[in-house]
Amino acid sequence: MDGAEVVEMHGVRRAFGGTVALSDLTLSAMAGTVTVLVGPNGAGKTTAVRMITGALRAEAGTVRTFGLDPAAAGDIVRRRCGVVAAKPALYDRLSGWDNLVYAAELYRLGSRAPIQEAAARFGIEHALDLRVGGYSTGMKTRLALARAVLHDPELLLLDEPTSGLDPESSRAVLRLIDEMAAQGRTVIMCTHLLLEAEGLADQVVLMEDGRTLVAGAPADLVNLVWPHPSVVIDAVDRSVLEVLMRLPGVLAYHRDAGSASVELDDLARVPDLVNALTAAGAQLTRVTPHEPTLEELYFAVRSGRADGGLLPTRAPAEVGV
């Protein structure tokens, strides 16, 4: 299925009463990739996930999952999807084993093997006979993940899977997600924790107010917002750093109370900058190429949208994965 479009949403709109959850959502996820939906609370991430499985229907626009309309062929689509909701959605009065059996029976799996494999994979087999109400948040998340992959779904939809977890558990869950993606599953994950998406996402979709602000591979998005490489430079006597403004290849110079940062036409200019500063008597303490994080990207895009300047003029669909 590699290369095929697993999820396609175009111009999707959905309101609940007077509240518009999705106003104009467009996104696409290719097979075998990890797509991270990033946005503040209320951006429409959860509603988007619910549309993909057909649990909710769109008022307008097109939704296709595996090439099918989930509103019409929801039973087929849902058999091929595994979902981990924002709340683990487990039955507290049942044991871990019974929770997994419930899902296995709904997906008509008639053997214990998938349950045992999933439980072993997520490290919860020792707790399967215990009531889920006594599980920690981390264990509940692991159980929810195990339940989501029981039927070996092609598409995994994870809605803030690390919500409420401590950093260690959160990292463990992200590692498991990474492993599942490495095995060829298509993953769509919602989060408002941008660090989570870092290094995991093949594609990032920034959402706000129920629409796509920008979408693409993280590197492409960074290039879109910051087309020129940036270097952070600091020196003992910072006044010398003013020299940078006059050097060739320097496109922009910013200086706050601390270090300076310069935008260059090419990173290959860095040795020349260092030489020039040294010649000017600067004692350099830091020369670091700056790689913007997703968090910076997120705020840059959002602030750009707010002041009408920084947001890329290209449409989201033009930024490929």
Partner 1 sequence: MTATLTTATFPKRRRPRSSSPTWVVARTDLRQLYQSPDFWVPMLILAAFFFVVAPAVLLFAITHIGGNDLVQKMGATLSVLPGTARTAIDRRAPHANDAVKASYALAVYLFAPLAVIVPMTISTAVGANCLVGEREKGTGEFLAHSPATERQLYTGKLIASLVPGYATTLIGFGVYALVVNLIVGPHVGGWFFPTAQWWVLMLWVVPPFLALTLSVVLRLSARVKSAAAAQQASGLVTLPAIVVSYAQSSGALFGAGAGELWVGAVAWALAGLGLWRGAGAVTRARLLGVDGDLD
Residue 171 in the binding site for partner 1 (CB under 8 A) = no
Binding mask 18-57 for partner 1 (x = CB under 8 A): --------------------------------x--xxxxx
Residue 93 in the binding site for partner 1 (CB under 8 A) = yes
Q: How far is the CB of 136 from partner 1 (least distance, A)?
A: 4
Question: What dihedral do alpha carbons 72, 76, 77, 81 form, nearest 10°?
Answer: 160
Q: How many CB atoms lie within 10 A of CB 119?
A: 22
Is there a contact between 167 and 145 (Cβ–Cβ < 8 Å)? no
Among 103, 158, 194, 204, binds partner 1 (CB under 8 A): 103
Interface stretch with partner 1, choices 99-107, 188-196, 230-238, 287-295 (CB under 8 A): 99-107
Binding mask 172-191 for partner 1 (x = CB under 8 A): x-------------------
Is residue 301 classed as helix, strand or coil in its secondary structure? helix
Of 321, 71, 144, 81, nearest to 216 (Cα)?
321
Residue 107 in the binding site for partner 1 (CB under 8 A) = yes
200 conformational bin, left if phi > 0, alpha if psi -120 to 50, beta if neither: alpha
Which CB atom, from 153 or from 312, has the smaller least distance to partner 1?
Answer: 153
Q: How remote is the C-alpha of 269 from its chain's centroid? A: 33
Nearest-angstrom CA–CA distance, 321 and 308: 25
Amino acid, res. 219: A
Among 26, 37, 78, 241, binds partner 1 (CB under 8 A): 78
Nearest-angstrom CA–CA distance, 254 and 150: 52
Residue 138 in the binding site for partner 1 (CB under 8 A) = yes
Residue 81 in the binding site for partner 1 (CB under 8 A) = yes
Q: β-strand 34-38 against 203-208: which pairing, if any?
A: parallel
Q: How far is the CB of 117 from partner 1 (least distance, A)?
A: 13
Residue 109 in the binding site for partner 1 (CB under 8 A) = yes
Residue 105 in the binding site for partner 1 (CB under 8 A) = yes
Which CB atom, from 91 or from 320, has the smaller least distance to partner 1?
Answer: 91
Binding mask 260-289 for partner 1 (x = CB under 8 A): ------------------------------
Interface stretch with partner 1, choices 32-40, 78-86, 177-185, 246-254 (CB under 8 A): 78-86
Interface stretch with partner 1, choices 167-175, 229-237, 258-266, 295-303 (CB under 8 A): 167-175
**How many residues of this chain bind partner 1 (CB under 8 A)?**
58
Residue 72 in the binding site for partner 1 (CB under 8 A) = no
What φ, ψ does residue 180 adopt, rounded to 5°?
-65, -40
Residue 163 in the binding site for partner 1 (CB under 8 A) = no
The residue ranges of DSSP E strands in 217-314, in sequence order, are: 230-235, 250-255, 260-264, 284-290
Is there a contact between 299 and 311 (Cβ–Cβ < 8 Å)? no
Strand partners, 31: none
CA distances from 42 to 58, 156, 207 (A): 17, 21, 9
The site for partner 1 (CB under 8 A) is made up of 15-17, 50, 53-57, 59, 75, 78-79, 81, 83, 85, 87-95, 97-98, 101-112, 115, 123, 127-131, 133-136, 138-139, 142, 147, 157, 168-169, 172
